[in-house]
A and B are shown apart, each in its own frame.
Chain A
Amino acid sequence: MKTSLPLRLLNVIGLIIVVAIFAMPFIWMISTSLKTLGETMIFPPKWIPDEPIWQNFMDAWNSGPFLQYFINSVIVSVGILIFQFITVIPAAYAFARYEFRFKNALFGLVMVTMMIPAQLIFLPVFLNLSEWGILDTLWGLILPFATSAFGIFMLRQTFKQVPEELLEAARLDNSTDLKIMMKIMVPMAKPTLITLGLFNFITHWNDYFWPLVMTTTEKARTLPVGIAQLRQVDGGVAWNILMAGNVILVIPILIIFFFAQRHIIRAFTYTGVK
């Protein structure tokens, strides 16, 4: 490619502006989280605080039962992950490798479920959970996502590509389905499983809507709900404390993203690329 120097320079400046539009808000978030309340109200704003106030993070963390929220978040995200692997792997295996009556209808059911967002069914599910007495518990946050239509769909594609000869050999050896799944299918589908796992973990770690509507007290609330309630602490808005809370929420995800960028991009763009 032969482009003139000014044009190339213009291109680089353009790229820098684009990065600034998307990265600046996060830098601003971190900058604010280290300011005093007074410094947040200086106009024009200051990018670098005179002295970083690390205390803001402690203040944010101590303004509510954040250890509880954090533990809840971990239990919910990891719990969903475990349940999904237990339910998705066998279902995907059956849909990929077995012929049975009503298979198409049942797979149709999976596809229909994939199009039902939580935002559509939260009210009746809330009423159900309340009737079953598991409202405001971690079960109410985990069980509805104990399986994933998207996961079944994606893993079925992968399982279909496993060569039939491998399975034949295993069947001759009298292997059980469980053994075939764990010894042949799962290792072959490792990239897909990592992709799915990352996608689900990030999605549920970030989720605000479901834990907000399915909890009524702080005992089952997760980190995003706790952070969102920070601003109700006092009359005015303590932006420095608020941003400190959000840094706590965002940093783990950004670190994962930094180290597994390729996997994560694959995970989130999978449906669109296929």
Chain B
Amino acid sequence: MNLAKSSYINEVSEGEKPRSIKLTKWRPYLLIAPAIIVFLVFFIQPIFYMIYLSFHEWNFISPDKTFVGLENFIVLLSDPMFLQVIRNTLMYTFFTVLLSISIALLMSIWLNRQGWMYSFVQGAVFSPHIISLVSIAMLWMWIMDADYGLLNWVLSLVGINKVPWLTEPNIALASLIIIAVWKNIGYYTLIIIAGLQSIPKHLYEAAALDQTSGIRRFTKITFPMLSPSLFFLTIIGILDSIKVFETISIITKGGPLNSTNTLVYYIYENGFIFFKIGYASAAGVILLVILGILTLIYFKALSKRVHYQ
């Protein structure tokens, strides 16, 4: 180690060229090595390990992993509970993304103005985004408490009876969606506002000359020009919602009657509570496939966008 170091110093100080060619050649690899090692050890290897485990049966305690081929997948896909988990996940994702983007679109058009009032409102709307999901989950669990919660009190003011937000199987998932939308809207709104501000002003000036109506201005200029932002938000929103865990783990634990159990919580439950490592890994592989498809779509669209610019 010492030797190598001193010879390097000699080369640098004595040589004609400032650096030895050999070292220069390796330098970029040395610079990226720490990052690449972390990626390989903590992200890439685990993916392959998970795929390997999904073909085995293992309870974490016994020393042997038994190869079972596709059995985990067959059991998984024929388990009505897992199919419900998939349905819950898709419903949660679909409605969370759809509602977040629609409401944020309206809000951003409204709030895209200068002045302290608007920047204050933007800040307030954004604030849930930086709060720990633990606090958001517990706060909303309290707000949605059927007997003493704030929400039912507000609704009682307009004559609506107590709603069992988190204890009724038909309502619980919708309640979790409301919480997610509440958290998302600020972030989505700011992204869309940034998109709105990047639309060239002359487009609107031309439209004004032609006396284009407000609705036409929106459908012919604003919406198409916003489509990159909206596409980005859709993908990010799906990726983000599909891996929902915190609110479920803290508020409902997948219940009542499995009605809020989603993919990541299901993997966690099977792996960490029931110790069905192979089975949980198989569910993980299904999540991997979903994320892989979404990533491909995203990068495909991204590269297209770059070409057109």
User: Which chain A residues have a beta carbon within 8 Å of chain B's beta carbons?
Assistant: 12, 14-15, 18-19, 21-26, 28-29, 32, 40-45, 86-88, 90-91, 93-95, 98, 100, 103, 106, 109-113, 115-117, 119-128, 143-144, 146-147, 149, 152, 171, 174, 177, 202, 205-209, 212-213, 224-225, 227-228, 231, 239, 242-243, 246, 249-250, 253-254, 257, 261, 264-265, 268-269, 271-273
Contacts and interface: CB of A to CB of B under 8 A. Distances in A.
Interface of B: 12, 18, 25, 27-29, 31-32, 34-36, 38-39, 41-47, 49-50, 53, 60, 107, 110, 117-118, 120-121, 123-135, 137-140, 142-143, 145, 147-148, 150, 153, 156, 182, 186-187, 190-191, 194, 229, 232-233, 236, 239, 243, 245-246, 249-250, 264, 267-268, 271-272, 277, 280-281, 284, 287-288, 291, 295, 298-299
Contacts of A121: 42-43, 46-47, 50
B284 A120 contact: yes
A127 B194 contact: no
A127 B58 CA distance: 12
B42 A125 contact: yes
Contact of A94 (B28, B117, B126): B28
Contact of B31 (A177, A243, A254): A177
Nearest to A88: B35
A54 B182 CA distance: 29
The 7 closest A-B pairs by CB, nearest first: A206-B132, A124-B46, A94-B31, A272-B191, A98-B28, A119-B243, A90-B31
Contacts of B280: 123
A250 B132 contact: yes
A113 B42 CA distance: 10
10 contacts: A18-B107, A25-B139, A90-B35, A123-B281, A124-B47, A127-B53, A209-B246, A212-B249, A239-B148, A242-B142
A103 B25 CA distance: 13
Contacts of A23: 124, 127
Contacts of A128: 41, 45-46, 49
B264 A152 contact: no
B108 to A, nearest CB: 12
A147 B121 contact: no
A269 B18 contact: no
A253 B134 CA distance: 13
A15 B117 contact: yes
Contacts of A14: 110
A213 B272 contact: yes
Given A87-B34, A147-B35, A45 B153 contact: yes
Given A127-B49, A171-B18, A119 B36 contact: no
Contacts of B31: 90-91, 93-94, 98, 177
Nearest to B240: A117
Given A110-B35, A205-B132, A208-B132, A100 B29 contact: yes
B140 A268 contact: no
A191 to B, nearest CB: 17
A272 B156 CA distance: 39
Nearest to A108: B299
A247 to B, nearest CB: 9
A225 B133 CA distance: 11
Contacts of A109: 36, 39, 44
Contacts of B288: 120
A233 B281 CA distance: 33
A253 B166 CA distance: 28
Contact of B135 (A90, A93, A125, A250): A250
B32 A106 contact: yes
B111 to A, nearest CB: 8
Contact of A113 (B44, B148, B233, B245): B44
A236 to B, nearest CB: 12
Nearest to A254: B127
B254 to A, nearest CB: 15
Given A18-B125, A41-B148, A123 B267 contact: yes
Contact of A29 (B27, B129, B139, B190): B139
